[in-house]
Amino acid sequence: MQNVTQLWVYLSASPLLWLFATLAAFAIADRISAATSRHPVANPVLLATIPLAVLLACTHTPYTTYFAGAQFVHFMLGPATVALAVPLASEWGRVKRLAVPITIALLAGSLTAILSAVAIAWLFGAPHAVLASLAPKSVTTPIAMGVSSLIGGLPSLTATIVVITGILTGVIAGPTSKLFGIKDQAAHGFACGLAGHGIATARAFHDSRLAGTFAGLALALNGVLTCVLAPLVMKLWP
C-alpha cells in the first residue's frame, strides 16, 4: 500500500497525468454517448466531468494542479473555435440571405443571456463579483474568462458556469426545438451556439451539419457581441 501511495504522489506531480485523465475520461464518455445514439442526456462533457470531479475530490487535488496538465485542452479551444469557419464557408450564401434575422436573433439572444442571469442572481442578493461572473456565461470559455476578469468577476467561477450552461443547453436544446415545432436546422443550430457556446455547438453537429454550421456562427458572433454588451450591462447595473 505504501508503494501505491508513493507511486500516486509521484504521478500526481506530473502535468501529463491530468492531461491523460481528461482525454481518457472524454474518450470513454464519447463511447457511451455513441452507444446511446447520442441521446441528449448522454452528453460526453457531462459524462466525462463526473468521474474527473470524483477523482479530484478523492485525491484532494487542487484545481491549479489539475489545470497545469489540462491547460493544453483549454488552449485548443481557441483553434477549435476558429476551425468552425471551415463549414461556415460552404453556407456563406445562406448566411448572407439571412443577415437580418440573424442580427435580430443575435441581439435578442445575447442580451437575454446576459440580463436574465444577472437579474436572477441580483434578485437573490448575489454580490457584484458573482453577477459579473455570470454575465458572460453563454460564450466560449477563453472569451468568458477574459470578459469576467475585465468586469470584476471571478474567472474560475465563470469557467464552471460556462461549462454548466453548455451542458444544459446541449441536453435541452433538441427537446425544446421539438416542443416549439422548430424544424429549421439553421434556426435550431443558431440557438444552440448562441445559448450554449462550444458544447452545444458540438451537440448541434450531431443533429446535422447545417445545425452545427449555424451554431458555430452564433458562437463566434455572440463571443464578439458579449465582449461589448457585458461591460456595458455591468456598468449600468445598480
Q: For the chain, give every domain's residue range.
A: 2-76, 85-236
The rounded mean pLDDT for the chain is 87
C-alpha–C-alpha distance, residues 196 and 141, integer Å: 11
Contact 227, 147 (CB under 8 A): yes
> Is 161 a residue whose pLDDT tops 60?
yes
Q: Identify the residue with better confidence: 16 or 178.
A: 178
Q: Dihedral sign, CA of 186, 188, 193, 198?
A: negative
Closest CA to 129 of 110, 159, 149: 149
Closest CA to 173 of 31, 36, 32, 41: 41
> Is 173 a residue whose pLDDT tops 70?
yes
> Is 20 a residue whose pLDDT tops 50?
yes
* 36: helix, strand or coil: coil
Q: Identify the residue with better confidence: 142 or 15.
A: 142
Contact 219, 81 (CB under 8 A): yes
* 209: helix, strand or coil: helix
Closest CA to 223 of 43, 87, 76, 78: 78
Instruction: Tell me what pLDDT residue 7 has.
Output: 47
93-125 pLDDT per residue, tens: 888 999 999 999 999 999 999 999 999 999 999
C-alpha–C-alpha distance, residues 146 and 231, integer Å: 11
186-226 pLDDT per residue, tens: 999 999 999 998 889 988 998 899 999 999 999 989 999 99
Q: Dihedral sign, CA of 55, 60, 61, 64?
A: positive
C-alpha–C-alpha distance, residues 134 and 155, integer Å: 10
44-67 mean pLDDT: 85
40-67 mean pLDDT: 85
C-alpha–C-alpha distance, residues 68 and 72, integer Å: 8
Contact 197, 217 (CB under 8 A): no
Contact 110, 195 (CB under 8 A): no
> Is 238 a residue whose pLDDT tops 80?
no
